[in-house]
């Protein structure tokens, strides 16, 4: 059955959005299809279903007595978790029963991905889930919402594009794929990097006329600051055979730093003021303070915003007025805390500071130590200087902002000022303010349509180079691990649908026990070719991911205790990186799998 819709799914850290376009519509040449958002029925309270245009990516693990009132058609078994607005509201009163930011746990190799460890540090009577299960639950909810609206077009038959952060490593992509297929997405769904989706959103709004805005050698920087993460991507404009083409040049590392951090920082400031006045806030009030601060931030940072704004938190009990606490927040305070705190002026050679103590550590995820997004951008652009062969940092000519944070023009302006101070001129902003929260889903749906109809595609291949760690056969010294070498198994920019045999010595895989290899990636070594061996590297050049392993039995080996193999790297048409071992003495080959069992760590 041929696909009738292209469906773009933005599974966000804090909000998920689904957009779609018809594939069978009649369009004039150069015309783009109508792109719509999918309403998502969800619980807003026990027994109360509302349709919203986004699904908060929170999973609430209900009490036994509530389960009957949380039965949503199409989403079985509420006991294993309920997503959406109700789950988000429960995060205030019952945080021990709510899984937040499951997506950040997915790419965090510490714990909780496949282990039943979430909600993190919750009491024993609360049912536990893994980040993988949580992701599957939320996706299954989105699938049910699709079937509610389109019962005659099963999602399994549609062209589905699911977005992931550009900074997701292969293991996190693999987990996302597993969760998605288990949730009912078709096997051949496509993974698309979120910042690229934001670029497609802009392309969708321009049609063919984007070529009038961008020219050869232009450099487009996508700054995507979501609720919980910041994702950076650099896209270059090339000319080939007289046609302009777009190529994704680089992506940044995974930064656990987002808009929520800014709102929380502001809420913390206001909370301290209220405390100084003798008021203690309970958790529910803290959350309403958080929302009040977000609104106040947006108003105070608006172009013609007021000088001060009253922030009020209503009383918790049924006596509302007597318990209401108010305080004033001034434009200067917000300017200092948010604009100067998260977007400070800095020079191109500044780098994020590592040693700043962070109070967030105890909640399990490795949040960024330095909240300065401008310094993160400076480091990202600085890392690209090796790739452009120049001694200077990459100089973007255009910027696309994504994420609700940038609804405040003051933050866009500051970011542009800072980048402009590094270059000769400020970059030009592409795209509008209208859909900062929905651009990724809409761009993904447009990409799916474009893939079917042969429209523009951003080329790029793998965003990093990949390495396997091989222990050298040096003299063993007691108490010392053998020196480690890194063998490059895939260069950066390896294209979808290609495969490359890794030139190397034969590697003996011992049978009947797992052969495990340490696995690394790098965003900063664009010139390593496949087969390159590294004897040493700077600590931040290679980032270690989960080990990758293979388990061969005697059936594979015949009479010898080991099988000699060489590595083969593949990037599938769907954007998945795979590492295979090919026997040197037969035609056999085996795929290595990422080992994500936390107990081994």
Partner 1 sequence: MALGTAFRAFFAALFDAAAAERIGAAIDSAAPVPPPAGSTAGMIVESAPPQTPVAPQSVQPLRSDAIALLGVLQREARFVDLVKENLAQFSDAQIGAAARPCLQQCASALDRMVGLVPIESSPDGSIVSVAESASAAHYQWIGEGESASGKLVHHGWTASKVELPHWTGNRVDAMVVAPAQIKRG
Q: Which residues sit at the interface with partner 1, rule CB under 8 A?
A: 4, 39, 41, 44-51, 69, 71, 73-74, 89, 93, 144, 147-154, 292, 295, 310, 312-315, 318-322, 324, 326
| Helices (runs of H) and strands (runs of E) counted in the chain | 14, 31
CB of 554 to partner 1, least distance (A): 47
Token reading at 321: 């007025």
Q: What crossing angle do the helices spanning 259-276 and 283-300 adopt, rounded to 10°?
A: 110
Q: Report the C-alpha gap between 60 and 72 in whole angstroms.
A: 14
- Mapping DSSP to helix (H, G, I), strand (E, B) and coil, where does residue 193 land? strand
CB of 68 to partner 1, least distance (A): 9
**Containing H/E element for 273?**
helix 259-276
Question: With respect to partner 1, which residue has the nearer C-beta, 126 or 244?
Answer: 126
Question: With respect to partner 1, which residue has the nearer C-beta, 51 or 358?
Answer: 51
CB atoms within 10 A of CB 111: 18
Question: With respect to partner 1, which residue has the nearer C-beta, 4 or 385?
Answer: 4
243 burial type by CB count under 10 A (0-12 exposed, 13-18 middle, 19+ buried) = exposed
Question: With respect to partner 1, which residue has the nearer C-beta, 94 or 463?
Answer: 94
Question: With respect to partner 1, which residue has the nearer C-beta, 295 or 340?
Answer: 295
Q: Report the C-alpha gap between 19 and 286 in whole angstroms.
A: 33
Question: With respect to partner 1, which residue has the nearer C-beta, 319 or 553?
Answer: 319
CB of 519 to partner 1, least distance (A): 42
Q: Report the C-alpha gap between 100 and 135 in whole angstroms.
A: 11
CB of 281 to partner 1, least distance (A): 14
CB of 344 to partner 1, least distance (A): 31
CB of 49 to partner 1, least distance (A): 4
Q: Report the C-alpha gap between 584 and 589 in whole angstroms.
A: 9
Q: Report the C-alpha gap between 143 and 176 in whole angstroms.
A: 15
Question: With respect to partner 1, which residue has the nearer C-beta, 70 or 379?
Answer: 70
Instruction: List the Cα angle 405/406/408 in 5-degree steps.
Output: 95
CB of 23 to partner 1, least distance (A): 12
Residue 79's contacts (CB-CB under 8 Å, 6 or more residues apart) are 61, 62, 64, 67, 127
CB of 264 to partner 1, least distance (A): 19
DSSP 542-585: SEE---EEE---HHHHTTSSEEEEEEEEEE-TTS-EEEEEEESS
CB of 323 to partner 1, least distance (A): 9
Nearest partner of 13 among 112, 136, 142, 102, judged by Cα:
102
Confirm if 256 and 229 have CB atoms less than 8 A apart: yes
Question: With respect to partner 1, which residue has the nearer C-beta, 174 or 435?
Answer: 435
Question: With respect to partner 1, which residue has the nearer C-beta, 129 or 292?
Answer: 292
Q: Report the C-alpha gap between 181 and 139 in whole angstroms.
A: 9
DSSP 141-175: HHHHHHHHH-TTS-GGGSEEEEEE-TT--HHHHHH
Q: Report the C-alpha gap between 601 and 596 in whole angstroms.
A: 9
Question: With respect to partner 1, which residue has the nearer C-beta, 158 or 393?
Answer: 158
CB of 93 to partner 1, least distance (A): 7
Question: With respect to partner 1, which residue has the nearer C-beta, 41 or 195?
Answer: 41
Residue 84's contacts (CB-CB under 8 Å, 6 or more residues apart) are 40, 42, 43, 44, 52, 55, 56, 58, 141
CB of 403 to partner 1, least distance (A): 21
Farthest CA pair distance, the chain:
83
Confirm if 571 and 521 have CB atoms less than 8 A apart: no
Nearest partner of 521 among 568, 570, 488, 482, judged by Cα:
488
CB of 4 to partner 1, least distance (A): 8
Instruction: List the Cα angle 286/81/184 in 5-degree steps.
Output: 130
Q: Report the C-alpha gap between 520 and 544 in whole angstroms.
A: 4
CB of 74 to partner 1, least distance (A): 6
CB atoms within 10 A of CB 464: 28
Question: With respect to partner 1, which residue has the nearer C-beta, 71 or 178?
Answer: 71
Question: With respect to partner 1, which residue has the nearer C-beta, 110 or 306?
Answer: 306
CB of 332 to partner 1, least distance (A): 22
Question: With respect to partner 1, which residue has the nearer C-beta, 150 or 570?
Answer: 150
């Amino acid at each position: 059955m041929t696909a009738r819709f292209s469906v773009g799914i933005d599974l966000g850290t804090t909000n998920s959005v689904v957009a779609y376009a018809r594939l069978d519509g009649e369009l004039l040449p150069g015309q783009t299809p109508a792109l719509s958002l999918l309403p998502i029925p969800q619980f807003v309270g026990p027994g109360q279903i509302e349709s919203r245009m986004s699904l908060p990516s929170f999973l609430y693990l209900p009490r036994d007595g509530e389960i009957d009132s949380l039965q949503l058609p199409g989403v079985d078994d509420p006991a294993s978790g309920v997503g959406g607005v109700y789950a988000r509201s429960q995060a205030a009163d019952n945080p021990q029963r709510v899984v937040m930011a499951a997506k950040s746990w997915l790419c965090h190799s510490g714990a909780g991905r496949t282990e039943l460890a979430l909600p993190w540090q919750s009491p024993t009577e609360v049912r536990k889930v893994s980040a993988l299960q949580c992701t599957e639950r939320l996706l299954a909810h989105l699938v049910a919402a699709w079937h509610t609206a389109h019962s005659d077009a099963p999602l399994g038959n549609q062209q589905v594009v699911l977005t992931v952060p550009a900074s997701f490593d292969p293991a996190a992509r693999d987990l996302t794929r597993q969760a998605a297929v288990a949730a009912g997405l078709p096997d051949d769904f496509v993974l698309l990097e979120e910042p690229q989706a934001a670029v497609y959103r802009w392309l969708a709004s321009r049609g063919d006329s984007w070529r009038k805005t961008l020219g050869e050698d232009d450099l487009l920087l996508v700054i995507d600051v979501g609720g919980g993460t910041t994702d950076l991507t650099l896209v270059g404009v090339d000319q080939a055979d007289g046609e302009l083409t777009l190529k994704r040049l680089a992506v940044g590392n995974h930064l656990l730093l987002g808009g929520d951090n800014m709102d929380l920082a502001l809420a913390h400031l206001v909370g301290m003021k209220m405390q100084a006045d003798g008021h203690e806030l309970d958790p529910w009030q803290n959350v309403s303070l958080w929302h009040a601060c977000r609104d106040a931030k947006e108003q105070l940072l608006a172009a013609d915003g007021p000088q001060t704004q009253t922030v009020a938190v209503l009383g918790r009990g049924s006596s509302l007025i007597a318990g209401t606490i108010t305080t004033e927040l001034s434009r200067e305070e917000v300017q200092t805390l948010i604009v100067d705190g998260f977007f400070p002026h800095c020079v191109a050679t500044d780098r994020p500071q590592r040693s700043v103590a962070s109070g967030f550590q105890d909640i399990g995820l490795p949040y960024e130590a330095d909240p300065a997004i401008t310094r993160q951008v400076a480091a990202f652009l600085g890392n690209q200087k090796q790739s452009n062969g120049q001694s200077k940092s990459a100089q973007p000519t255009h910027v696309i902002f994504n994420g609700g944070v940038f609804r405040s023009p003051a933050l866009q302006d500051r970011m542009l000022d800072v980048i402009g101070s590094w270059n000769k001129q400020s970059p030009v902003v592409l795209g509008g303010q209208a859909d900062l929260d929905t651009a990724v889903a809409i761009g993904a749906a447009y990409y799916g349509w474009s893939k079917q109809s042969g429209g523009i595609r951003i080329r790029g291949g793998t965003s990093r180079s990949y390495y396997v760690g091989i222990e050298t056969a040096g003299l063993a010294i007691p108490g010392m691990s053998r020196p480690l070498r890194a063998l490059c198994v895939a260069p950066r920019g390896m294209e979808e649908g290609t495969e490359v045999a890794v030139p190397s010595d034969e590697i003996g895989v011992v049978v009947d026990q797992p052969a495990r290899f340490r696995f690394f990636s790098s965003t900063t070594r664009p010139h390593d070719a496949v087969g390159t061996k590294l004897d040493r590297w700077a600590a931040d050049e290679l980032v270690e991911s989960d080990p990758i392993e293979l388990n061969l039995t005697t059936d594979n080996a015949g009479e010898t205790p080991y099988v000699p193999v060489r590595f083969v790297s593949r990037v599938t048409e769907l954007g998945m990186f795979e590492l295979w071992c090919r026997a040197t003495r037969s035609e056999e080959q085996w795929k290595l799998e990422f080992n994500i069992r936390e107990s081994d760590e």
